[in-house]
Amino acid sequence: MITDAQALAQFCEQARQASFLAVDTEFVRTRTYFAKLGLVQVQAGDATVLIDPVALSDKTQGDPLQPLWDVFADHDKTLVIHAGGEDYEILHQHMGCLPTAIFDTQIAAAMLGEGEAMGYAALVQQQLEVEIDKSQSRTDWMKRPLDQEQLDYAAADVFYLNQIYPRLLAQAEQSGKLDLILAESAWQAEKRAQTIPPEWLFLHFGNAWQCNPEQLSVLRELLAWRYERARTADIPLGFVAKEHVLLEIARRMPKSKGQLHGIKELSSVTVRYAGDAMLAAIQRGQEQGPLEVPLQRLTDMPGYKVAFNAVKKCAQELADELAIPVAMVASRRQINDVLHWCWQIPPHAQAQLPLPDLFASWRGAKLKNTIEAIVKK
């Protein structure tokens, strides 16, 4: 357990000598917009360490974990992470950048045919025939002191990962899939670091197609306001306003707090503290005039089914070529995302938005030209 700067500095020197690092994080994100980092677990060679950012913050000015972040940012240091998703997000939040060499064992297992979307416990059971306790997965990692069960649980997340990595690495090298696994691991991390400019959030709002051009302009302003409010106050988006509530407000376009009170599920507390800001957003949307963006329900668009099936066929062919499950090439959602991008997102918006999965990284290199030809038919 590392709770002071001197111990952290000593460990970081040791970690720099390890050939790779098994890494995990524990955090809490129930009532905040930004995740609160409760623990960082690292296995470096034979050393299993639990780094306590809460204790370190009490003793150190600035970012107490900066020496660790410097190690993680080393281009020559592979970080082994399982199903990194939110780990990548919180690492980017604290590091200000992403680790440059990541091997995600969930991605590796899927690419190697060991099992798709395998949880950590299932992977440990499969690879090492060890059953681990996952009863602490919903625990409060910000409370102090952490009890022994929590510490054991946290340590196991990197202790066994350290043993699994060499096995999967050997399989990846033997099968010729290592570069693909590394590319997909890097892409999944990069996605967690991407942001959508507030003015374009409405393009990714599931039911925006239900709005007419005037309502769509109002919805754009409401979504941008909610995003800025959540980040500034560090509260979840849903605590500011639920999505279906914002849609209803955009469709009704109320002009007073009294009319806001008539919106079902919009609490009186929200109207009291945020009513003026909501009304201002509505007014901005109305003043900017109708928003002429060709949004409609994707599945109702002419040629949708034909295009979907054509992209799906291309994904299957690529999966066969690479000898990986087709789900690792393109899911239904990823196909819909790329069709939405091609048919409904204006070019000037595309220039400011992250690419859809099927146009980016190794997928884009293989599929982009073919998909563009499909959607133009």
Residues recognised as catalytic: 24, 26, 87, 153, 157
Q: Which run of H or of E encompasses 43? A: strand 36-44
Phi, psi of 196 (to 5 degrees): -105, 125
Which DSSP string do the residues of 65-109 spell out, in sequence order?
A: THHHHHHHT-TT-EEEESS-HHHHHHHHHHHSS--S-EEEHHHHH
Tokens of 19: 């050939």
Question: In the beta sheet, which residues pair with residue 80?
Answer: 22, 103
- 3-class SS of residue 81: strand
- 3-class SS of residue 22: strand
Pairing outcome for strands 36-44 and 20-28: antiparallel
Query: What's at 359, amino acid-wise?
Result: F
Angle, in degrees to the nearest 10, between helices 213-233 and 243-252: 140
* Euclidean distance between CA atoms 32 and 246, whole angstroms: 20
* Euclidean distance between CA atoms 172 and 175, whole angstroms: 5
